[in-house]
């Protein structure tokens, strides 16, 4: 595709990742995207391709920023792990040890590890909330602290799609004194020289590429396959508005509305599970810094990283909110059939619509992918899979 705007760097030996970018556009799957790969602490791929809109009037460029939904959770998990390493938090202690109000309604024994691995039974709120209250930190965290768990903590796990961020972020605030957005700026983004915002400064809003809805090949006229039909029907069955999954994603109907995530007030708020604004290079750099020094900074020791990546949920246990088994570490989603990344040992987080970032320590491979065209999925985006597979092949060939 000679007409595809493509900029950035791709060092020798990593051309398969660049080829995968071209392939995704040739298939009609992309509008604009960024992909970055660190290998053994070095940035080997940093590519930007396509356009910021469907009319192809403006190129996706180096200053583009992108909302990445739940890919934000991996950044929040890193911030929590840094607090643990500094002795401010402990995965083993009860949440209420650091946040006394959390102990209400039988939650006093829920550990930090259970909270971070989606076992606390707090995947939604029980009453309708107005947007202004959801975006107000003290209001939403007090609501969660005052809830009774929706299952006996530790007996099940289910994806806390939105609530995870406020729960984890309040832990950071309680022990460090800073809000999660400020912590990320001062302890992760600033030292690494990257851009990750949870609570976007208004002055940077013009750089955020708007999200575009779209599923599959835009020009495809092929009828829906039986497999695709079954998948769609399962999604509708398990992610409907009255299901645990639907309630988790919508805060029981409070978090809904067309264009919600493109709103200025939503971008400026702190929603540490869902409204991170960043780029692919920054995500890959952060994950690489969990293993190597990046710009002179390593975020976690190897022992702390291993503790943060330790899987907490039982193998093959069905996720109460999502379809099928999922695997959670200390806020990160671990490698599984649901989120394969680059294979066993990988840990990171995907986001709604396709974005994903992770580290696979065995290959010393860190990866980040962002895009503006949303696929209708939480995980399993084929564009990301093509890029991740290409990156793993390149790492293995060196």
What is the chain's pLDDT, residue by residue, as a tens digit (398 residues)?
459 999 999 999 999 999 999 999 999 999 999 999 999 999 999 999 999 999 999 999 999 999 999 999 999 999 999 999 999 999 999 999 999 999 999 999 999 999 999 999 999 999 999 999 999 999 999 999 999 999 999 899 999 999 999 999 999 999 999 999 999 999 999 999 999 999 999 999 999 999 998 644 443 344 555 654 554 565 566 667 789 999 999 999 999 888 899 899 999 999 999 999 999 999 999 999 999 999 999 999 999 999 999 999 999 999 999 988 999 999 999 999 989 999 999 999 999 999 999 999 999 999 999 999 998 776 678 999 999 999 999 999 99
Phi and psi, residue 328, nearest 5°: -120, 135
The angle that helices 280-288 and 72-85 make with each other, rounded to 10 degrees, is 30
Q: What pLDDT shows up at residue 224?
A: 56
> Taking the CB of residue 150, how many other CB atoms lie within 10 A of it?
18
Q: What pLDDT shows up at residue 232?
A: 54
Q: What pLDDT shows up at residue 171?
A: 98
| Helix (H) or strand (E) run with residue 192 in it | helix 190-192
> Taking the CB of residue 319, how many other CB atoms lie within 10 A of it?
22
Q: What pLDDT shows up at residue 316?
A: 93
Q: How far is CA 8 from CA 47, 60, 170, in A?
A: 5, 11, 37
Q: What pLDDT shows up at residue 216?
A: 44
Beta-ladder partners of 359? 347, 366
- Rounded (5°) CA angle 166-174-248: 15
* Catalytic residue list: 70
67-209+224-281+290-337: CATH architecture? 3-Layer(aba) Sandwich (3.40)
Q: 8: number of CA atoms within 13 Å, CB side? A: 30
Q: Are 245 and 239 in contact (CB under 8 A)?
A: yes
Beta-ladder partners of 9? 46
Find how far residue 197's CA is from the centre of its chain: 13
Q: Are 369 and 280 in contact (CB under 8 A)?
A: yes
Q: Alpha helix locations (H) across 108-189?
A: 112-116, 131-134, 137-145, 163-176, 180-184
Q: Are 172 and 178 in contact (CB under 8 A)?
A: yes
- Domain residue ranges in the chain: 1-58, 67-209+224-281+290-337
Q: What is the rounded end-to-end Cα distance, in angstroms, of the chain?
A: 27
Give the residue carrying structure tokens 């069905």: 318
Q: What pLDDT shows up at residue 147?
A: 97
Q: Are 200 and 267 in contact (CB under 8 A)?
A: yes
Residues, the chain, total?
Answer: 398
Using the 8-state DSSP alphabet, how is residue 296 labeled? Answer: T
Tokens of residue 304, six digits: 């702390």
User: β-strands 333-334, 196-197: how paired?
Assistant: unpaired
Per-residue buried b or exposed e for 2-28, using 16+ beta carbons within 10 Å of the residue's own CB: eeebbebebeeebebbbebbebbbebe
Beta-ladder partners of 43? 38
Q: How far apart are the C-alpha atoms of 53 and 372, rounded to whole Å?
A: 8
Q: What pLDDT shows up at residue 324?
A: 86
Q: How far apart are the C-alpha atoms of 273 and 57, rounded to whole Å?
A: 32
Burial of 307 (0-12, 13-18, 19+ CB in 10 A): middle
């Amino acid at each position: 595709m000679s007409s595809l705007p493509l900029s950035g760097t791709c060092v020798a030996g990593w051309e398969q990742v660049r080829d995968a970018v071209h392939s995704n556009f040739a298939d009609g799957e992309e509008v604009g995207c960024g992909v970055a790969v660190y290998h053994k602490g070095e940035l080997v791929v940093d590519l930007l391709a396509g356009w910021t809109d469907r009319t192809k009037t403006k190129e996706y460029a180096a200053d583009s920023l992108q909302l990445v939904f739940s890919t934000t959770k991996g950044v929040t998990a890193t911030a929590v792990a840094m607090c643990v390493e500094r002795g401010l938090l402990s995965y083993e202690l009860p949440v209420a040890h650091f946040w006394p109000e959390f102990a209400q309604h039988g939650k006093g024994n829920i550990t930090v590890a259970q909270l971070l691995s989606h076992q606390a039974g707090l995947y939604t709120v029980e009453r309708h909330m107005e947007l202004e209250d959801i975006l107000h930190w003290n209001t939403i965290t007090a609501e969660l602290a005052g809830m009774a768990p929706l299952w006996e903590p530790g007996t099940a796990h289910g994806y806390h799609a939105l609530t995870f961020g406020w729960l984890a972020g309040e832990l950071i605030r309680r022990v460090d004194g800073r809000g999660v957005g400020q912590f990320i700026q001062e302890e992760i983004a600033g030292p690494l020289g990257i851009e990750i915002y949870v609570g976007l400064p208004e002055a940077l809003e013009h750089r955020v590429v708007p999200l575009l809805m779209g599923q599959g090949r835009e020009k495809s006229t092929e009828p829906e396959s039986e497999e695709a039909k079954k998948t769609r029907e399962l999604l509708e069955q398990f992610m409907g508005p009255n299901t645990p999954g639907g309630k988790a994603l919508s805060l029981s109907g409070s978090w809904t509305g067309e264009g919600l995530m493109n709103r200025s007030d939503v971008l400026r708020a702190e929603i540490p599970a869902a409204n991170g604004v960043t780029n692919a290079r920054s995500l890959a750099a952060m994950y690489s810094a969990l293993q190597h020094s990046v710009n002179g900074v390593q975020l976690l020791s190897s022992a702390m990283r291993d503790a943060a990546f330790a899987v907490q949920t039982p193998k093959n246990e069905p996720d109460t909110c999502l379809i099928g088994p999922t695997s959670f570490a200390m806020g990160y989603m671990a490698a599984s059939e649901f989120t394969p990344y680059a294979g066993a040992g990988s840990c990171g987080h995907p986001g709604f619509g396709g974005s994903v970032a992770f580290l696979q320590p065995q290959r010393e491979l860190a990866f980040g992918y962002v895009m503006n065209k949303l696929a209708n999925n939480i995980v399993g985006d084929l564009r990301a899979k093509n890029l991740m597979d290409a990156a793993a092949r390149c790492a293995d060939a060196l």
